[in-house]
Copies of this chain bind each other. A is one copy, B any other.
Amino acid sequence: MTDSIRISVDAMGGDNGPRVVLHGARLALRERRNVRFIFHGRESELRPLLEGFPELKPVSRIAHSDNVIAMDDKPSNALRRGRGNSSMWAALESVRNGEADVAISGGNTGALMAMATFCLRPMEGISRPAIAAIWPTIRTDIIVLDVGATVGGDARQLVDFSILGAALARALFDQETPTVGLLNIGTEELKGHEEVRDAARLLAGASGAGFVYHGFVEGDDIGKGTVDVVVTEGFTGNIALKTAEGTARQVGAYMRDALRADPISMLGAAIAGQALQALRRKLDPRNINGGVFLGLNGIVIKSHGGTDEIGFKAALGLAYEMARSRLIDKIGEGMRRFPALPAEAPATPEPEGNPA
């Protein structure tokens, strides 16, 4: 790793165009000086935009690519059409060939995952990559994965996700042995479907693997921060994530309505203005923007497509932290420490050797 963190940016990804991306990069640069950017996209669009952000110019390079992956492209189409000549692909390639430490895109999630898997390849011993969310809780931030890369998934995959999530917790929170819980509909052994019960048995036998297996956790344990890493397959994880986002917005709306109900409430709200402002910032989804693709030979951050420069800045900050904390090395380390799994799952190679 060089002195600066080198971030490869798909400047064309997202709903709001490259201006938001560059603006976010300027904000991120102000917070962390030792960053360099490669902006992938149409040079004719990016060049004049970059002129508008003079601070960025000395630390930025534009790398031209013709194509842009649309937000509604099917992953298979994106891969066929966009391999080699799209800004999304080029952003990933910069990580593969060592030009950058981390890639980021606000584009189509399915296409990004398909391309990232194709370009960077799954780490040895990992059957399927996952998307991890950093989830604020009452206690502290925790990791929840998978929030949308997979649909369904067997016990072995849930074990992989545990190793990946624990490595992310070690990298991001400097926790030596994070606790891992399997998301389920009850904490008793007999609850849930077979995959989750099988995964529990595999995890219970794996001490010293760089994390402590806590057992099953339920949906409300996420917000409580009961464990450092919550593991589930991507269908449930995505729905949990979006349900929580929806609920936070809903409660925020209730709060606004209540405090505007009458002049007295409005007066009170005005007096408590600073506290409410801080609360609003805390609930602002832009400040917790960014999913981490885990299980690939390279770090990829997915920014929310609809976010603005504040949100993109937050995702860039996450990308920076991931690269700085040597996430990939920590995952490899976690995999070496995890005991070889029983032969039940022979389709995936045993975690051996350095997966980086």
Contacts and interface: CB of A to CB of B under 8 A. Distances in A.
A283 interface: yes
Interface in A220-270: 220-224, 232, 234-236, 238-255, 258-259, 261-262, 264-270
- Identical subunits present: 2
Interface in A3-45: none
A268 B272 contact: yes
Nearest to A255: B279
Contacts of A301: none
Given A74-B190, A254-B282, A249 B275 contact: no
Interface size class of A (residues with CB under 8 A): 35 or more
A223 B138 CA distance: 21
A258 B236 contact: no
A92 interface: no
Contact of A72 (B72, B188, B249): B188
A269 to B, nearest CB: 5
Contacts of A272: 258-259, 264-269, 272
Contact of A274 (B218, B221, B249, B265): B265
A271 interface: yes
A185 B283 CA distance: 23
A185 B274 contact: no
Nearest to A245: B220
A184 B57 CA distance: 42
